[in-house]
């Protein structure tokens, strides 16, 4: 097994643990507390938003009702297991 395969297996295992925690009602801690300034990437196929913060992309629930161009500043907030983007 090469390094990439091992890392992918570890990542998948960690994600499964997180999903089990969500099913049990346990809240998974975010990567930061409160709000942070992120950069809008795009709208996902399911209507969610993709925001970049510190070289990581976050899937968010957009709170804005208008279209914004990629690269626009957005407020990225983590609350009760969900990331929100506001612009």
Distance CA(75)–CA(49), nearest Å, equals 12
Strand 56-62 to 73-79 pairing: unpaired
Name the DSSP class of 11: H
- What's the pLDDT score for residue 86? 93
Is 26's pLDDT higher than 70? no
Can you read off the two tokens belonging to residue 23?
């099913």
Distance CA(71)–CA(41), nearest Å, equals 6
Distance CA(7)–CA(66), nearest Å, equals 38
- Over the stretch 40-86, which tens digit does the pLDDT of each residue have? 999 988 889 999 999 999 999 999 777 899 999 999 999 878 899 99
């Amino acid at each position: 097994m090469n390094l990439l395969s091992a890392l992918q297996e570890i990542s998948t295992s960690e994600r499964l643990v997180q999903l089990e925690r969500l099913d049990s009602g346990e809240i998974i801690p975010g990567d930061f507390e409160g709000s942070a300034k992120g950069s809008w990437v795009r709208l996902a196929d399911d209507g969610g938003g993709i925001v970049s913060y510190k070289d990581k992309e976050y899937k968010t629930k957009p709170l804005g009702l208008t279209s914004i161009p990629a690269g626009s500043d957005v407020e990225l907030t983590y609350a009760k297991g969900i990331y929100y983007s506001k612009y």
